[in-house]
Amino acid sequence: MYSLSYRRASSVEEARRLFKEASDAAYLAGGHTLLPAMKQRLAAHDVLVDLGAIADMKGIGVSGDGLTIGGGVTHAEVAGSQEVKGAIPSLAALAGSIGDAQVRHRGTLGGSIANNDPAADYPAAALALAATIRTDGREIAADDFFTALYETALEEGEIVTGVSFRIPETAGYAKFRNPASRYPMAGVFVARHKDGTVRVAVTGAGNEGVFRWSEAEQALSGNFAAEALAGLSVDPDMMMGDIHGSPEYRANLVAVMARRALGSLGSAEAII
């Protein structure tokens, strides 16, 4: 047993102050990653600063070409949001495919993005939708945000207050779930943007975490259809290998999921 303090912040400023006052604090959002890690003694903190009561981190709104979702919004709220379904149906589909009902009702967008689990779903959407990560001090392009496994560009104590996704012309998401954990073993988000650019992002498979598949982006720029990907594959040397699947297996899954994602364009139901 070890003791710790629980503090609930009512504003982003208060959360920052409470974090700074402690010697080794952590922010608590849905707790679906942080609390199991603490229970297993993989992490230990003297203060948990709960972000769950911060109203400024809750909203969902469309403005111009952007859909902004607060860092404290749960996956279930994203999945059920009419605004999200209207602007980017495949993002609602992605959120609705995360874990199970308990995970979706506690886990948050900010927690998922900040944690950058190599098998998390949202990082793929953030890259493919050219998102901007909003923090309490700055804006960070998704391309610069996910730096390594479980690593991000966030500085000590920085808070993800929201994420602005660029609304595409069309997009789709498909993933192959690990049947035990329900995390994707390979998840591919494809998007064609209104300026004609194509972005393809892969999660769950890469040995350095989420990545953009540039060869697929080039192929789909000419023809945004599954047949454009014929014969294209990712390098197995870039893929994770573990008891659940070899690098070659994951490389094959990436190609299959990319084709399936193209078959799900505009759908609010993820292909799983």
**Contact set with ligand FAD (CB under 6 A):** 26-34, 51, 71, 75, 98-99, 103, 106-108, 110-112, 114-115, 120-122, 159-160, 181-183
- 99 burial type by CB count under 10 A (0-12 exposed, 13-18 middle, 19+ buried): middle
Smaller CB separation from ligand FAD, 9 or 87: 9
Q: What minimum distance in Å lies between the beta carbon of 27 and ligand FAD?
A: 4
Nearest approach in angstroms of CB 90 to ligand FAD is 15
* Cβ nearer to ligand FAD, comparing 114 with 271: 114
Cβ atoms of 2 and 47 closer than 8 Å: no
16 or 192: CB nearest ligand FAD: 16
Per DSSP bridges, beta strands 47-50 and 139-141 are: unpaired
Pick the closer one to ligand FAD by CB: 4 or 103: 103
Taking Cα atoms as reference points, which of 192, 221, 213 lies closest to residue 255?
Answer: 213
Q: For ligand FAD, give the closer residue by CB, 75 or 199.
A: 75
Structure tokens at 254: 């990436």
Is residue 112 within 8 Å of residue 145, measured between CB atoms? Answer: no
For 30, how many CA atoms within 13 A lie in the half-sphere containing its CB? 25
Give me the least distance between CB of 48 and ligand FAD, in Å please: 8
Smallest separation (angstroms) from ligand FAD to the CB of 161: 7
Residue 249 DSSP class: H
Residue number with the shortest CB distance to ligand FAD? 111
Give me the least distance between CB of 94 and ligand FAD, in Å please: 8
What are 47's strand-pairing partners? Answer: 5, 25
